[in-house]
Structure 1
Amino acid sequence: MSSVPAANPASAPHRIAIVGGGAGGLELAVRLGKKLGRRGKAEIMLIDASRTHLWKPLLHQVAAGTLDSHADELEYLALAKANHFTFRLGRMDGLDRARKEILLAPTHDPDGEEILPRRAIAYDTLVIAIGSQTNDFGTPGAQENAIMLDSPDAAELFHDKLINTCLRAQARSRHPGEGRFTVTIIGGGATGVELSAELHMTARILSSYGLGNFDAQRDLKIAIVEAAPRLLQVLPERLSAAVSHELTNLDIDVHTGERVVEVTREGVKMASGKFIPSSIVVWAAGVKVPDYVRQLDGLETNRINQLVVHKTLQTSRDPAIFALGDCAAIPQGEGLPAVPPRAQSAHQEAGMLARSLIRQLDGKPLLEFKYRDRGSLVSLGDSSTVGSLMGALARGSVFIEGTIARWMYWALHKQHQIAVIGWFRTWLATWAETLDWVRNPRIKLH
C-alpha cells in the first residue's frame, strides 16, 4: 500500500482533507481553496469515488429523462484547478487516527483492471462529508429487484429501463382493457414524490413523439407506497395535503400506511397482504450512512451510521476530525431533533465550517453551527411546485405554490452553482441551459 508521509513539518502548510464531493463537501473545498489554498496557508484536498459532481436533488430528473446528467455534471479535476485545491479519486474504506491517515480502496476500471492501488492519504484536519445512501431496512428482495436512486449511474439505469419498457409497450398489440405496466416507488418522501410527478410528465411527452401504440394514460401506472400515515411525513401537513391533491389529479396511486415486506421480480408485497404487480420498482424510503463508517477507528456513530458530532461539527471522539451533511448527526439543542439531512443543511454547514477552519488556523475558537430552516419545496414537474417558507421570512411558515414555488426551486439549484462555479459561470450555464431547452427534445430518449 502506498502512503503519503504523516509527518508534517512546522513550516509546511496545514493539510485539510475533505472526503466526499457532494453539495457540502464540494462547496467547502471551493471556499477553503479560495481563502487558504490560493494564499498557500493550507493544502486543501478533496477525495471522492466519482470523477464528476451532480447536485443530488436533480437525480429524480435524470431518472425521468427530463435532465441530461452530462449537461449538468461538473468535473472535479477542473474545479480543483480553478479553485486552488487538489482532487484525488478514491473511496475511503478505513481510517488510522493515530497516524492521521485516510485509507483508500483500490480503484478499478469496468473490466476489473486496477487504475489506482490501495493508498493512505495524510491529513492534519479531516472533514468527512460522504453523504448517505438509501436504507432498505433489510427488506427481502429489495437489493435484487429494486433500483436505489443514490447516484447518477442508478438514475441512468432507471431511465434506460423506463424507455425500454415504454418501447415494448409500443411494440405490443394491445386489446381493450388489457393491463398497464406499473412503476412502483417505495417511499413517500421528497425523492419519491418528485420522481412520481416527473415520470408522469415524461410518459406524457414520450407518447407525443410518434409512439402511436403507447398512451401514457392507458399504458402506464405510477404508484407510491409509504409506511407513514401521509406523504412527506417530516414536512408540514399543509404541504403534504397539497402534494397528495396534486398527485391524485395526475392519476398517481398513493398507498399510505403500507409497510413493504418483500420486493419480488413480479412486484411489491405489503404487510397488509396487498400486492402491486410492478415492471419497475424504485426504493426511495429511508436513508443511512454506508456501513463502513461504523468501523472508522472508533469514531462514534448512531443507529443509521451517522457520525456523532458537537455543534462545532467536530466528531465526539476526535477534535481533528469534522463531519457535515447527511453523514453527520448534528445537534440542534436539548429536546430538538438533529439537523435534517437536506441540501440546504449541507450548504449552511459548509459555509460555517469554512469560516470556522479559517478562524482555527488563525488561533481563534471554532464557531458553533446553528441551523436556519429556510422552508421546504417539492417539485411536481410541469404540474406544480409546492412548499413552505420559514425562518426569517415570517413567524411560523408561509405556504406557497405554483409559479413562485417553481422559481424558488430553480433558485436553490442556482445557489449551489454559484457557490461552486461563481456568478459569471452560473450566468453562462443558465444561458446554455436555455439554448439546450430550445434545441433538444423535452426528455432524453436514449
Structure 2
Amino acid sequence: MSNPSTPSDKLQRHDPDQGVRPSRPHQIVVVGGGIAGLEIASKLPGSIRNASIAVTLVDREPAYVWKPMLHTIAAGTTDVSQQETSYISQARNRRFVFETGELKGIDRKERKLHLKPLEIEGRSILPERAISYDTLILATGSEANDFGTPGVRDHCLTIDSRSQAMKFNREVMAHMLEALAAKSSLHIAVVGGGATGVELAAELVQLADTSAYYGAAGLLDQVKVTLIESGPNLLGAFPDRVAIAARERIEKLGVTVLTGARVVAAEAGCLRLADGTQINAGLKVWAAGVKASDACASFDGLEVTSNNQIVVRPTLQTTQDPRIFAVGDCSSLSVGDPGRPLPPAAQVAHQQASHLIRHLPGWLEGKELPSFSYRDFGSIVSLGGYGAYGSLGQFGLFTGGFLRGRVAQLGHVLLYRSHQSRLHGFWRGGLIWLADMINSHVRARIRLPDR
C-alpha cells in the first residue's frame, strides 16, 4: 500500500485515475504572497532542477510588504514605495508566474482554483477565472478578528494588508491636517494590545513627534493615542518582562493604556466598553484577535478551526487532501503535549516555508514527506525610534534571555534583512539594505502629505 503522504503520481508522468499521459509541467500553485507564500514561490523553482515543474503565485495585491512592517507604513514613518516588492518583478527574477486575483473557491475533484473577477476602482478588468493545479499550497495569511463586535466593520480601520495600511495612512494624514488647521485634538484609539497594536501606538507618537520637525509645531500635544486591550496585560504572547518594559515605555511616550477593557461596540465618534465607558476617538483601528479569512471555511470540505484556520497534519498537508498544503497564519498545527497550536507568527511562516522548499522536491519524486519541526527563536517588539524589547527562544545557552535597547533593535533589523536576502539573494538583498540606509539620510523621515 502506498504512503498517503506521497503524491499518487511522479511529476505527472503517471496518474492512476487517467493512466499514462503525455508529460507536462507539474503545476504547483501558491495562493497568498505573504512571508511563507512568496518565499516558497521565489525559492522553489531554483530548488527543483527539473524542467517539468511550473510554479504560480496568486495574490490580490500588486506588491508585497513584510507584514511586521505594515504598522510603520500605516503610521507613515516608512514609505511603502521603498519597502514593497513587486510581484511581477519578483516573478521575472525568480522564474515563477504571477496571477493577480482573489481566491473564490477550490474544486478538489477537478483540481482547480476559481478566482473572483478582478475590479480596479469599480472597473471590470478580468472575469472570473479558473487555474488548474497538481499541488496546491495555501498561504493566505490572517486578518484581525472583530469577534462580531457591532460597528467594527463600519467604523474601524484595519492594517492587515498593504492596501489597508496605505488607506489608514491617508486617513491619519488627513485627520492630522484637520487637527492642525482647527487647532483641535485628534484622538486615535487602537484596539488590541498585541505586537501590532503596541508597535502602531508607538509609531503614531513618532509620526506626531517627527512632524514638528517639518513645521507642524504643537502636533505632538494635539494627538492623543489610546491603546485598548481586553486581557489583563499587553503583549500576552510575550514574556512578562518584555510586556512590562514595553508598557512602561509607551506610557512615558504619552500613550494611554487600558487593560481589562473589552470593546462591545464601535460608533462613528467613539468606542463603547463593557463597563459602560465611552472612549471618544475620531480615528479607530482594530488590531485585536487573529483569524484566517472567512473564505477558508468554504474551501471544498477542508477541515478548519473556529478561527477559520485550515487544520494540517505534521507534514503540513491538509487532513482531507494530501495534495493541498496550508502554511503560515491560515493553517493550524498542534505540536507537543498537550498539543497547543503554533502561534500566527512570522517565524512560524518562514520555518514552514523552508520545510516545504527543502522537502517538496523529494516528495514530488515519490519520497516520504517528513514532519515539520518548529523551533522558537524568541520574539521582539519594536517601538520605532523609542526602543525595542525581546526575548530569546527556548533553546541554546541563553534560553529565555531578555533583550532591550540597541541589541534588540539590531535583532529586529536583522530579521527583516535576512528575510529580504531569502527573497532576493544575498547580494541583491545587501544592495536593498544599502539603498535604504542612503534613503534614511536623504529622504524625509516620515511620509509627508502629497496633496
Give the structure-2-normalised TM-score.
0.93
Equivalent residue for 1:367?
A: 370
Where 1:319 maps in the other structure, the secondary structure is coil
Equivalent residue for 2:277?
A: 274
Equivalent residue for 1:142?
A: 152
Equivalent residue for 1:19?
A: 31
Equivalent residue for 2:187?
A: 182
1:314 to 294, 317, 324: 317
Equivalent residue for 1:32?
A: 44
Is 1:303 matched with 2:313? no
Structure 1 residue runs of 4 or more that deviate by more than 2 Å after TM superposition: 6-10, 391-396
Residue pairs, 1:220-369, within 5 angstroms: 220-369=223-372
Write the distance in 1 (CA, Å) between the matches of 2:305 and 2:22.
36
1:437 to 436, 440, 444: 440
Write the distance in 1 (CA, Å) between the matches of 2:435 and 2:26.
39
Write the distance in 1 (CA, Å) between the matches of 2:339 and 2:223.
42
Write the distance in 2 (CA, Å) between the matches of 1:206 and 1:263.
29
Where 2:204 maps in the other structure, the secondary structure is helix
Shift of 1:169: 2.1
2:205 to 200, 204, 209: 200
Is 1:63 matched with 2:69? no
Write the distance in 2 (CA, Å) between the matches of 1:56 and 1:27.
13
Shift of 1:172: 2.2
Paired AA for residue 86 in structure 1: V
User: Unaligned 5+ residue runs, structure 1?
Assistant: 1-5, 175-179
RMSD: 1.5
Write the distance in 1 (CA, Å) between the matches of 2:87 and 2:268.
38
Paired AA for residue 222 in structure 1: V
Write the distance in 2 (CA, Å) between the matches of 1:340 and 1:276.
30
Where 1:393 maps in the other structure, the secondary structure is coil
Write the distance in 2 (CA, Å) between the matches of 1:261 and 1:378.
27
Shift of 1:190: 0.2
Paired AA for residue 100 in structure 2: L
User: Unaligned 5+ residue runs, structure 2?
Assistant: 1-16
Equivalent residue for 2:10?
A: none
Paired AA for residue 182 in structure 1: H
Paired AA for residue 113 in structure 2: I
Is 1:98 matched with 2:116? no
Write the distance in 1 (CA, Å) between the matches of 2:30 and 2:384.
34
1:390 to 374, 390, 393: 393
Write the distance in 1 (CA, Å) between the matches of 2:200 and 2:22.
52
Identity %: 39
Write the distance in 2 (CA, Å) between the matches of 1:49 and 1:417.
21
Is 1:74 matched with 2:85? yes
Shift of 1:120: 1.1
Shift of 1:173: 4.7
Paired AA for residue 69 in structure 1: V
Write the distance in 2 (CA, Å) between the matches of 1:208 and 1:397.
39
Write the distance in 1 (CA, Å) between the matches of 2:407 and 2:210.
24
Equivalent residue for 2:13?
A: none
Shift of 1:42: 1.0
Write the distance in 1 (CA, Å) between the matches of 2:413 and 2:93.
25
Say which is worse superposed, 314-323 or 393-402, in terms of deviation.
Answer: 393-402
| 1:150-208: CA deviation from partner (whole Å, max 9, x where unpaired) | 1122212222222222222222256xxxxx32110000000000000111111011122
Equivalent residue for 1:416?
A: 419
Equivalent residue for 1:109?
A: 120
Report the CA distance shift for 1:361/1:141 in structure 2 as closer, same or farther (over 3 A): same
Paired AA for residue 32 in structure 1: L
Where 1:391 maps in the other structure, the secondary structure is coil
Paired AA for residue 148 in structure 2: G
Write the distance in 1 (CA, Å) between the matches of 2:21 and 2:70.
43
Equivalent residue for 1:124?
A: 134
Query: What is the aligned length?
Result: 432
Say which is worse superposed, 156-165 or 433-442, in terms of deviation.
Answer: 156-165
Write the distance in 2 (CA, Å) between the matches of 1:236 and 1:224.
19
Say which is worse superposed, 120-129 or 387-396, in terms of deviation.
Answer: 387-396
Shift of 1:10: 5.0
Where 1:441 maps in the other structure, the secondary structure is coil
Write the distance in 2 (CA, Å) between the matches of 1:159 and 1:349.
31
